[in-house]
């Protein structure tokens, strides 16, 4: 019996593929570059990358562009992935930084985020945001936060 891929798994795979495609199309050379992609509740996928800046302190995460796009479209973020291609050609998974975890928290503890497999950072492991942000500060205000954060 052949198992069919679930729509959810297909959406996650498509999100990773979109992220890889952006890195390849936007940065065709072998330089170190990255991008992010987010799967939205309506099934659409937004991608983004971080513009270069002379002053590194004003640079943004790759996730910012799809994050803002999701808000513009009024679509909750379902999943987020950030990938970084090294000049060697190897592409590693970057888990969302603390600021991006905070950004994604508005969509609840069930948002899926891609983290690197501990033994092989080129492998995507999907985790619920609650797993990578176990002590979210907003749980001090249970009436103001998605109930999933406090259960």
The answer to whether 93 contacts Zn ion (rule: CB under 5 A) is no
Q: Token pair for residue 16?
A: 């990773």
DSSP E strand stretches across the chain: 33-40, 45-48, 77-85, 91-93, 112-116, 124-128
Query: Which CA distances in Å does 45 have to 11, 103, 127, 132?
Result: 9, 17, 18, 22
Nearest residue (CB) to Zn ion, 20 versus 50: 50
The answer to whether 97 contacts Zn ion (rule: CB under 5 A) is yes
Near Zn ion by CB under 5 A: residue from 61, 79, 114, 115 = 61
Nearest residue (CB) to Zn ion, 16 versus 82: 82
The number of residues that bind Zn ion (CB under 5 A) is 4
CB contact at 8 A, 39 and 77? yes
- Which residues have C-beta within 8 Å of that of residue 98, sequence separation ≥ 6? none
Nearest residue (CB) to Zn ion, 22 versus 100: 100
Near Zn ion by CB under 5 A: residue from 37, 38, 70, 100 = 100
The answer to whether 40 contacts Zn ion (rule: CB under 5 A) is no
- For the chain, what is the radius of gyration of the CA atoms? 16
Nearest residue (CB) to Zn ion, 65 versus 75: 65
CB contact at 8 A, 145 and 135? no
Stretch that binds Zn ion, among 27-35, 45-53, 54-62, 111-119 (CB under 5 A): 54-62
Nearest residue (CB) to Zn ion, 53 versus 97: 97
Report the relative pairing of strands 77-85 and 33-40 from DSSP bridges.
antiparallel
Contact residues for Zn ion, defined by CB under 5 A: 61, 97, 99-100
């Amino acid at each position: 019996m052949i198992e069919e891929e679930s729509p959810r798994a297909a959406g996650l795979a498509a999100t990773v593929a979109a992220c890889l495609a952006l890195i390849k199309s936007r940065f065709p050379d072998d330089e170190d570059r990255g991008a992010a992609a987010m799967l939205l509740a309506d099934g659409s996928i937004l991608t983004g990358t971080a513009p270069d800046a002379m002053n590194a302190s004003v640079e943004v995460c790759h996730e910012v562009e799809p994050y803002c796009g999701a808000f513009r479209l009024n679509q909750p973020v379902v999943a987020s992935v950030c990938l970084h291609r090294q000049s060697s050609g190897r592409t590693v998974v970057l888990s969302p930084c603390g600021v991006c975890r905070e950004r994604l928290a508005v969509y609840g503890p069930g948002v899926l985020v891609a983290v690197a497999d501990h033994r092989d950072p080129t492998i995507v492991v999907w985790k619920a945001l609650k797993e990578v942000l176990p002590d979210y500060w907003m749980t001090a205000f249970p009436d103001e936060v998605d109930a999933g954060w406090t259960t």
